[in-house]
Amino acid sequence: MIKEILCIYIIDDTGTPIFIRENYIQGSENANHALLSDFITALQSFAKEFGEEETRIVELSDAKIFSTLDNLTNYLFIIKSDMSTKSKKMFEMLNKIKNLFIDSFMGQLASSNEKKKKIMESFEYNLDVLLEEPSEKFLGFLKSL
């Protein structure tokens, strides 16, 4: 996974995290996922009350939180990253993750749990490929020769 990304969340239209991917770094604390999910959902509601479409970036003392809302599903896509991360890079990655998820689940959100599980497994595999560091992709290519 890209080193700057600490965590990826996908939150459904009820505020429930439906996907969490954490890049655990030794010595770091595990995030309280429900608390962060509630915090971001509350920020989105707050922004709407003041006429803003959505909250896109929040800076904390040790991390940045990037978010984007899919208007069709009302699902919220979030990346938590370290402070040194460039915003443009994270928003590009966030949009790629959102598009991958939407493409994977388009028309399938009402499917059976078993079918959704298979789609999620495929999504996770494709996400791993998307998040692979360029140096890892290059090494994989060299090994395949």
- Is the pLDDT score of 20 beyond 70? yes
- Is the pLDDT score of 31 beyond 80? no
d(CA 40, CA 42): 5
* Spatial contact of 28 and 55, defined as CB atoms under 8 Å apart: no
- Is the pLDDT score of 68 beyond 60? yes
Average pLDDT of the chain, as a whole number:
78
Helix, strand, coil % (nearest 5) of the chain? 45, 20, 35
For 54-70, the three-class secondary structure string (H helix, E strand, C coil) is CCCEEECCCEEEEEEEC
CATH code: domain of residue 64 = 3.30.450.70
Return the H-helix or E-strand segment holding 90: helix 87-105
Q: Look at the chain and report how many structural domains it folds into.
A: 1
| Confidence class for position 38, pLDDT limits 50, 70, 90 | low
| Confidence class for position 124, pLDDT limits 50, 70, 90 | very high
Query: pLDDT tens for residues 71-123?
Result: 888 898 999 888 888 889 999 999 999 999 999 988 777 778 888 889 999 99
* Spatial contact of 76 and 67, defined as CB atoms under 8 Å apart: yes
Q: List the one residue out of 99, 109, 49 whose CA is nearest residue 77.
A: 99
Provide the domain limits for residue 139: 5-144
